[in-house]
């Protein structure tokens, strides 16, 4: 096989083992004899590994600068530039989808907190006092049709101890009387990490964050 016939397309197909058995054997034999083609194959393999690394959700520091510096340094062909642009498009598209997904979840979680807050307020109007604990809040709400309406809207569930669960399946944190909402109650979700950060980090609150 002549070096001129060992194109990038064939070398890529060789890497993915998508050639006929005869062609695979011929290229394997040629690579054993041709240092130039081996170097081309190594370059293609490195390029594929580089593109795979772009699949991470969060880009490394100076991501774009490193990409274009690599492009200039290695003087990639037009085909390689096309692959690089496609990979960037896929990466940033995926990153935007990830952000949009997280924002949608955050809105749903906040809506559920608002509904539960309203349900507790309604139950207080019925019972004349706020519940002392989260499990008591569940019983107060169930006994009040107007408050239960909010539970139905949020499709809330409870655990074995009748503690009301947030969007991620973790119990809400309920403090009465409230520290932040004086004379009322504090209510918050521990967020996606499920860790009680005392109203910090990704906790979702029923009061204004400082």
Same domain for 189 and 104, yes or no, is yes
Please state, in angstroms and rounded to a whole number, the distance separating the CA atoms of residues 31 and 190.
Answer: 58
CA distance readout (Å), 126 to 110, 122, 130, 131, 151: 25, 7, 10, 11, 16
Q: pLDDT digits over 113-171, tens only?
A: 889 999 999 888 888 899 999 999 999 999 888 888 888 888 888 899 999 998 888 99
Query: Cis ω on the peptide bond leading into residue 110 (within 30° of 0)?
Result: no
Q: What is the number of domains present in the chain?
A: 2
Same domain for 86 and 141, yes or no, is no
Same domain for 130 and 90, yes or no, is no
Does this model's pTM top 0.75? My answer is: no
- Compute φ and ψ for 53, nearest 5 degrees: -65, -20
The answer to whether position 43 is within a domain reads yes
Q: pLDDT digits over 47-102, tens only?
A: 777 655 555 455 566 666 776 676 667 665 766 666 777 777 777 777 777 667 66
Same domain for 161 and 185, yes or no, is yes
Q: What is the DSSP string of 165-210?
A: B-TTS-BPEEESS-SSSTTS-EEEE-TTTT---TT-TT-EESS---
The answer to whether position 210 is within a domain reads no
CA distance readout (Å), 72 to 23, 75, 77, 80, 91: 33, 5, 10, 12, 21
Same domain for 161 and 82, yes or no, is no
Q: CA-based angle 115:124:164, to the nearest 5? A: 45
Same domain for 92 and 180, yes or no, is no
Same domain for 92 and 7, yes or no, is yes
Same domain for 89 and 104, yes or no, is no
CB of 57 closer than 8 Å to CB of 98? yes
Cα distance between the two ends of the chain: 72
CB of 165 closer than 8 Å to CB of 158? yes
Question: Which of 36, 62, 96 is the last residue before a domain boundary?
Answer: 96
The answer to whether position 154 is within a domain reads yes
Same domain for 88 and 126, yes or no, is no
Q: pLDDT digits over 7-21, tens only?
A: 777 777 777 777 787
The answer to whether position 81 is within a domain reads yes
Question: Which of 31, 64, 96 is the last residue before a domain boundary?
Answer: 96
Query: For the domain that residue 154 is a member of, what is the CATH number?
Result: 3.30.700.10
Same domain for 23 and 82, yes or no, is yes
Neighbours of 37 (CB within 10 A): 19
β-sheet bridge partners, residue 184: none
Same domain for 190 and 128, yes or no, is yes
The answer to whether position 158 is within a domain reads yes
Domain that holds residue 22: 3-96
pLDDT for residue 174 is more than 90: yes
More confident call, 117 vs 210: 117
Same domain for 76 and 119, yes or no, is no
Question: Which of 96, 121, 137 is the last residue before a domain boundary?
Answer: 96
């Amino acid at each position: 096989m002549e070096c001129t016939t060992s194109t990038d397309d064939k070398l890529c197909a060789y890497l993915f083992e998508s050639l006929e058995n005869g062609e695979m054997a011929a290229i394997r034999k040629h690579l054993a004899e041709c240092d130039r083609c081996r170097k081309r194959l190594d370059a293609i393999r490195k390029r594929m590994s580089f593109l795979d690394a772009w699949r991470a959700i969060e880009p490394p520091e100076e991501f774009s600068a490193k990409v274009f510096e690599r492009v200039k340094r290695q003087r990639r062909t037009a085909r390689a530039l096309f692959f690089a642009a496609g990979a960037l498009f896929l990466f940033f598209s995926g990153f935007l989808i990830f952000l949009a997904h997280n924002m949608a979840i955050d809105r749903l979680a906040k809506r559920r907190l608002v509904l539960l807050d309203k349900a507790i307020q309604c139950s207080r109007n019925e019972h004349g006092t706020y519940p002392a604990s989260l499990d008591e809040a569940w019983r107060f709400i169930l006994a009040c049709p107007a408050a239960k309406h909010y539970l139905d809207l949020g499709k809330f569930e409870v655990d074995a101890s009748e503690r009301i669960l947030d969007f991620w399946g973790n119990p809400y944190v309920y403090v009465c009387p409230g520290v932040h909402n004086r004379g009322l109650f504090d209510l918050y979700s521990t967020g996606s990490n499920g860790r009680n950060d005392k109203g910090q980090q990704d906790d979702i609150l029923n009061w204004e964050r400082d």
